[in-house]
Amino acid sequence: MNMKNFPQTIKKIQEGLKKKDFTASELANSYLEAIKEENEKIFAFLNITEDLALSQAKAVDESIAKGEDLPLLAGVPCAIKDNMLVEGVKCTSASRILENYVAPYDATVVKKLKDRKAVILGKTNMDEFAMGSSTENSAYGVTRNPRDLERVPGGSSGGSAAAVASGQAVFALGSDTGGSIRQPAFCCGIAGLKPTYGSVSRYGLMAYASSLDQIGPLANNVEDARIVFEAISGRDPLDSTSCELKPFLETQGKKFTVGVPKEYFIKGIDPEIEKIVKGKIEQYLALGHKIEEISLPHTEYALACYYIIATSEASANLARFDGIRYGYSSKEAKSLLEIYMQSRAEGFGAEVRRRVMLGTYVLSAGYYDAYYLRAQKVRALIKQDFDKAFEKVDAIFTPTSPSLAFKIGERTQDPLQMYLSDIFTVSVNLAGVPAISVPCGKIGDLPVGLQVIGKPFEEATLFAIAKDLEDQI
Amino acid sequence: MLSKEETKHIAKLARLGLSETEIERYQKDLSSILDYIEKLKEVDIKGTKPFTHPIEISNITRIDKAKPQPTEIAKKLIDLMPGQKDGYLKVKSVFE
């Protein structure tokens, strides 16, 4: 059966399975074939979990044969970023230091997908420990953008975005610390949601910056992103920052007021991107919604603030990789101290070492007040900017990224230039609010995306607005 | 600009055994990132309280007692240790 004969959205897959147009095993096999064909070229997957996928698909088929009720994700082929644990499957975070690490248990999000009978096809490539904006920082190779193979897919969830955009998975999970779901979704032309901090459990996600990290879906359309978000969210006793969510409010037919912050349309943004995003906002206005110019005055400090807070937390979180308890351990080391020093130097890639160094420096004696404490206060001001804006508007429109997917190798020599890829996405993580990136046009073959930022725990509004934008394309 | 000595000191604090060339590279990289971060000095933070967490939650406590786990879990964790003996984690001696 040809891939093209299968439906591509979650609801249509469910209908097809129920009507017995195809089996879950046939669907899983067609995706596994697509991966085998594409992976050499695109390299979205670090590890293909064929046996797991086929046994999960078989269980779905048996359940259908018995006439049992199907959960909505039953038989839906998906991919998981390689920083989330799937029991019995290698989990490397694209790092040498975890080259042989096999997950001893399931992350909560993975358990939730398994409970809903989704089919896990494999683990996707990423920037090592989610540190990067291009997936070039993987220890195992670069993922290519399916829209243009000479370009990066964005990052750090680049493998997840590339897999979904090239038909190698119906949806994928990513993690977003400063834009790592939204920016690759922008680069690959798909939808990507960074949920409100606390709405999805982080248990079993390898921590990068714990006060910023959040797991979310990447999908070909807004409805699928919503279905996956509803499946993975909610309170988990194993993550004390996770929250019980209130049921979504009805948004059908509601007219929204959306703010457009002047600080996001500044020098440095690709003028073509600005034109497309502004055109899209005009279209939205024409649907009868209101648009208001707003101000988020501390926007220009967000990136500096982010790099202090994220690297501080990373330097503490990555201290666990010591060459002793698990992961790579240097064979050359002669003393305990040498084991730490050598295992970490040999096991971590250049960007991870750079961020651990920066975080260690800003937290070190004598610098704490000047950097970390100051950054936490600036973070409070950034959050206040959003609180004030949300007194007037229901949501905010911005471009997701100031520049299109760039060429492989173009930014690897200049870390600061790479960091600027996240200039429009980091504020959202600092404030803990939700945001979704949706495709809104193209320049040549390269996709452009618009970011919709919402009030905490009001993902329903984001989905409603994003759906309207999607229907306009 | 960070000095070479400072960079070496940070690498030691971070438990990263870096070569001389790497130290030089990170000295340069960190200095340019720190220059960018200096931007934050422009912000008026008088009277602002530090923000530690995006959501307001109170401390969640539990009794300090290990949850019993099946032996297979323990075995899996022991198998992941780079050095082990009789089910114990093996490390190099701390004292000479």
Closest CA in chain A for residue B25 = A354
Q: Are A391 and A294 in contact (CB under 8 A)?
A: no
Q: Are A267 and A318 in contact (CB under 8 A)?
A: no
Whole-number pLDDT of residue A473: 63
All residues of chain A having their beta carbon less than 8 Å from the beta carbon of residue B89 are 324-325
Which residues fall within 8 angstroms of residue A320, CB to CB, at 6 or more apart?
none
Whole-number pLDDT of residue A365: 87
Which has more confidence, A407 or A421? A407
Q: Which of the following is catalytic: A180, A312, A343, A437?
A: A180
Closest CA in chain A for residue B12 = A341
Please report whether residue B56 resides in a domain.
no
Taking the CA of residue A198 and the nearest CA in chain B, the distance in Å comes to: 7
Whole-number pLDDT of residue A1: 43
Quick one: fold of A1-473?
Answer: Amidase signature (AS) enzymes (3.90.1300)
Closest CA in chain A for residue B88 = A325
Closest CA in chain A for residue B40 = A301
CA distance A132 to A408: 13
> For chain A, what percent of residues have pLDDT higher than 70?
99
* Least confident residue range of A13-27, A315-329, A414-428, B52-66: B52-66
Which residues fall within 8 angstroms of residue A286, CB to CB, at 6 or more apart?
none
CA angle A25, A31, A36 (to 5 degrees): 120
Whole-number pLDDT of residue A361: 97
Whole-number pLDDT of residue A70: 94
Which of A197, A304, A361 is opposite residue B10, by nearest beta carbon? Answer: A361
From the CB of residue A436, how many other CB atoms can be counted at a distance below 10 Å?
A: 32
Please report whether residue B89 resides in a domain.
no
Whether B37 and A304 lie within 8 Å, measured CB to CB: yes
List the strands of the sheet with A257-261, edge to edge: A45-48, A119-124, A77-81, A171-176, A214-219, A191-194, A435-443, A446-454, A395-399, A257-261, A290-294
Residue spans of the domains in chain A: they are: 1-473
Whether B54 and A431 lie within 8 Å, measured CB to CB: yes
Whole-number pLDDT of residue A101: 97
ipTM for this prediction: 0.94
All residues of chain B having their beta carbon less than 8 Å from the beta carbon of residue A322 are 15
Please report whether residue B21 resides in a domain.
yes
Average pLDDT value for residue range A388-405: 97
Q: Are A161 and A218 in contact (CB under 8 A)?
A: yes
Whether A336 and B15 lie within 8 Å, measured CB to CB: no
All residues of chain A having their beta carbon less than 8 Å from the beta carbon of residue B4 are none
Q: Which of the following is catalytic: A81, A111, A194, A455?
A: A81
Please report whether residue B20 resides in a domain.
yes
Bond preceding residue A210 cis, omega within 30 of 0: no
Please state the domain count of chain B. 1
Q: For residue A219, what are the β-bridge partners?
A: A171, A191
CATH number of the domain where residue B32 is located: 1.10.20
Which of B45, B53, B94 is opposite residue A378, by nearest beta carbon? Answer: B45
Whether B26 and A353 lie within 8 Å, measured CB to CB: yes
Whether A304 and B39 lie within 8 Å, measured CB to CB: yes
What is the rounded average pLDDT for all residues in chain A? Answer: 96
Average pLDDT value for residue range A441-464: 97
Residue B94 confidence class, pLDDT cut points 50, 70, 90: confident
Which residues fall within 8 angstroms of residue B57, CB to CB, at 6 or more apart?
A198, A240, A241, A243
All residues of chain A having their beta carbon less than 8 Å from the beta carbon of residue B67 are none
SS (H, E, C) chain A: CCHHHCCCCHHHHHHHHHCCCCCHHHHHHHHHHHHHHHHHHHCCEEEECHHHHHHHHHHHHHHHHCCCCCCCCCCCEEEEECCECCCCCECCCCCHHHCCCECCCCCHHHHHHHHCCCEEEEEECCCHHHCCCCCCCCCCCCCCECCECCECCCCCCHHHHHHHHCCCCCEEEEEECCCCCHHHHHHHCCEEEECCCCCECCCCECCCCCCCCEEEEEECCHHHHHHHHHHHECCECCECCCCCCCCCCCCCCCCCEEEEEHHHCCCCCCHHHHHHHHHHHHHHHHCCCEEEEECCCCHHHHHHHHHHHHHHHHHHHHHHCCCCCCCCCCCCCCCHHHHHHHHHHHHCCHHHHHHHHHHHHHHCCCCCHHHHHHHHHHHHHHHHHHHHHHHHCCEEEEECCCCCCCECCCCCCCHHHHHHHHCCCHHHHHHCCCEEEEEEEEECCEEEEEEEEECCCCHHHHHHHHHHHHHCC
Q: Which of A352, A377, A419 to mutate to test the interface with B (most CBs of B within 10 A)?
A: A377
- The residue segments making up the domain with residue B20 are 4-42
Q: Are A134 and A92 in contact (CB under 8 A)?
A: no
All residues of chain A having their beta carbon less than 8 Å from the beta carbon of residue B52 are 211, 376
Residue A418 confidence class, pLDDT cut points 50, 70, 90: confident
Which of A327, A335, A376 is opposite residue B92, by nearest beta carbon? Answer: A335
Average pLDDT value for residue range A319-340: 94
Whether A375 and B53 lie within 8 Å, measured CB to CB: no
Average pLDDT value for residue range A119-146: 98
Say whether pLDDT at A262 is over 80: yes
All residues of chain A having their beta carbon less than 8 Å from the beta carbon of residue B61 are none
Whether A353 and B16 lie within 8 Å, measured CB to CB: yes
Whole-number pLDDT of residue B69: 86
Q: Are A204 and A110 in contact (CB under 8 A)?
A: yes
Closest CA in chain B for residue A302 = B40
Closest CA in chain A for residue B48 = A377
CA distance A266 to A423: 11
Whole-number pLDDT of residue A248: 80
CA distance A289 to A179: 27
Whether A325 and B81 lie within 8 Å, measured CB to CB: yes
Backbone φ and ψ for A467, nearest 5 degrees, come out as -65, -45
> For chain A, what percent of residues have pLDDT higher than 90?
92
Backbone φ and ψ for A337, nearest 5 degrees, come out as -60, -40
Clarify whether A180 is annotated catalytic. yes
Average pLDDT value for residue range A305-325: 97
Whole-number pLDDT of residue B60: 82
Amino acid at A163: A
Whole-number pLDDT of residue A45: 98
Taking the CA of residue A65 and the nearest CA in chain B, the distance in Å comes to: 33
Whole-number pLDDT of residue A3: 57
pLDDT digits (tens, 9 = 90+) for A186-242: 999 999 999 999 999 999 999 999 999 999 999 999 999 999 999 999 999 999 999
All residues of chain A having their beta carbon less than 8 Å from the beta carbon of residue B55 are 196-198, 241, 243, 432, 456
